[in-house]
Structure 1
Amino acid sequence: MADLNENTLKLTVKWNGKEFDIPEFSPSDSVAMLKIAIENATGVRPERQKLLNVKFQGKVASDNFTLSELNLKPNLKIMMMGSLEEAIEGAMMKPDVGDEVVNDLEFEEEEVDVVNQEIYLAKIKKRVKDYKLNVFNEPRPGKKLLVLDIDYTLFDHRSVAETGYELMRPYLHEFLTSAYEQYDIVIWSATGMKWIEEKMRLLGVSTHSDYKIMFYLDYLAMITVHTAKYGTIDVKPLGVIWASIHNTVLRILLC
């Protein structure tokens, strides 16, 4: 059984003549999560990033590799090339973490290696300890909690549209207004918090008068898991919410 006390990695990204400290990572976290952390620090989207010295056997490491597989040295300075998007509206038309979306609700328990289940529980425990919820609106008595993704749910990022209104799902505000009658609402996206806040502003979600969002969750509340069917993937463990918000949680992904 793997050691639950994984050593964390402190990394720095050097880009555009500046250095950016990246939050501590577990060796079992993926390159995809590292890229999202770099996006949060620099604003450079993952698909624009070229990490020059993050390699596996001399080749550029793909997103599904874990940091432990790459044997990264502590306090490594990652050399990055990449360009910022000209406008955030342009960034909204692209997916958060690639074109393929995996619904983590589809995984059956036996697909996860039993030997490693304690590691995942330890990861969730660490997220609960380290992740700070910024609650905008307190839970209402008697209301359950509805957790919504952004891509494929609140807006269609594959659209050729250029504005938040055009990207918005049909009847989005009517749906959220109706849901708010019975549920408190949380938004959880696999991207940085500043992008979540900007998308919710452009869609008019954060300022709508007929419903309120309880809080946002970003990629820092996610964990990396290994499955026989999908390999290494990043998922959103609802246990992070359960530890702080004790009403029943329902998470949906609309296609």
Structure 2
Amino acid sequence: MAEEESTLVVQDTVPVIEDVDGDKVPDKWIDLQFTWGGKPYSLSIAESDRVFDLKTSLRDLTTVPIDRQKILGLVKGKLPPDQARVADLKLVAGRKFSLIGTPEGDEIKDPSQLENLPDVVNDLDVDFTENMAASNRYQHDVRNIRKVKEMVAKLNLNIIHPLRPGKKLLVLDIDYTILDTKPLTSGSLPPDECARPYLHEFLEAVYPHYDICIWLANPFFSSELTHLQLL
């Protein structure tokens, strides 16, 4: 019996985006095929995308984190850096390649090494508040405009309490911010003991001044809001 093929279509239609001068610029899409773990997959990628977007699509299909992906046969030689444009790879439709990598959750972690991770990792490449030329380029970049529109279309906001006029919005990430995720996912502590110290006192102190939004990048933690008595 043939293996069932998994498919990721990033966009079903060819988007048309206005450039800085107001001209219509169509985005060209390329269909690719790859194998991972002996199973065939396919995906569509835009020429205005970056290598990073390709890796993100591979992660979404296979749950293999970007830093563990080894892509073979897509280009000759070494794969270009993440910021390289897909158009510069000179790919043709139907191009086949292989992906090697361990999916998230199947890895073997050394707890002693995790303790050495820094508290804060600054992964910002450009300070757009200081570099206005770079800021302007990013604002008018075809790929960036399309990505924002795609994310807005997929965003699902669960508004529990109406926003209050005149209040700023405080956005808090649950993963490794207000919740210590490591003991929760390992099962070493119950959810109510994984909350940061004085979390509720902090929320009570800021609520008179801010509306509060809890950001969940991983839907796995949505049920933990109840255990933390945040719902």
Which band: TM-score by shorter chain?
0.5 to 0.7
Runs of at least 4 residues off by over 6 Å:
156-159
Matched, 1:106 2:127: yes
Contact in 1 for aligned 2:36/2:99 (Cα 8 Å): yes
Give the structure 2 partner of residue 136 of structure 1.
158
Aligned mates of 2:188, 2:127 — CA distance in 1: 30
Shift of the 210–112 alpha-carbon distance from structure 1 to 2, 3 Å rule, reads: same
1:64-84 deviation per Cα after TM superposition (whole angstroms, max 9, x unaligned): 322222222234333111223
Shift of the 146–119 alpha-carbon distance from structure 1 to 2, 3 Å rule, reads: same
Matched, 1:51 2:74: no
Identity between Structure 1 and Structure 2 (%): 24
Contact in 2 for aligned 1:52/1:80 (Cα 8 Å): yes
Matched, 1:7 2:33: no
* Aligned positions, number: 195
Structural RMSD (CA):
4.4
1:169-203 deviation per Cα after TM superposition (whole angstroms, max 9, x unaligned): 733743456556632414164xxxxxx112455xx
Give the structure 1 partner of residue 215 of structure 2.
187
Aligned mates of 1:183, 1:164 — CA distance in 2: 33
Contact in 1 for aligned 2:178/2:199 (Cα 8 Å): no
1:78-105 deviation per Cα after TM superposition (whole angstroms, max 9, x unaligned): 3111223455895xx6xxxxx9642479
1:148-185 deviation per Cα after TM superposition (whole angstroms, max 9, x unaligned): 446663467899x9558599573374345655663241
Contact in 2 for aligned 1:145/1:186 (Cα 8 Å): no
Aligned mates of 2:178, 2:199 — CA distance in 1: 9
Matched letter for residue 29 of structure 2:
T
- Structure 2 regions of 5+ residues with no counterpart? 1-18, 115-119
Contact in 1 for aligned 2:171/2:215 (Cα 8 Å): yes
Q: Which residue among 7, 17, 32 is the counterpart of 2:52?
A: 32
Aligned mates of 2:108, 2:122 — CA distance in 1: 21
Counterpart of 1:145 in 2: which secondary structure? strand
- Structure 1 regions of 5+ residues with no counterpart? 94-98, 190-195, 213-255
Where does 1:167-186 land on structure 2 (aligned, <5 Å)? 170-171=196-197, 173-174=199-200, 175=202, 182-186=210-214
Q: Which residue among 68, 80, 84 is the counterpart of 2:103?
A: 84
Matched letter for residue 123 of structure 2:
V
Shift of the 210–18 alpha-carbon distance from structure 1 to 2, 3 Å rule, reads: same
TM-score, normalised relative to structure 1: 0.55
- Asked which structure has the greater CA Rg, the reply is 2
TM-score, normalised relative to structure 2: 0.60
Shift of the 168–68 alpha-carbon distance from structure 1 to 2, 3 Å rule, reads: farther
Give the structure 2 partner of residue 96 of structure 1.
none
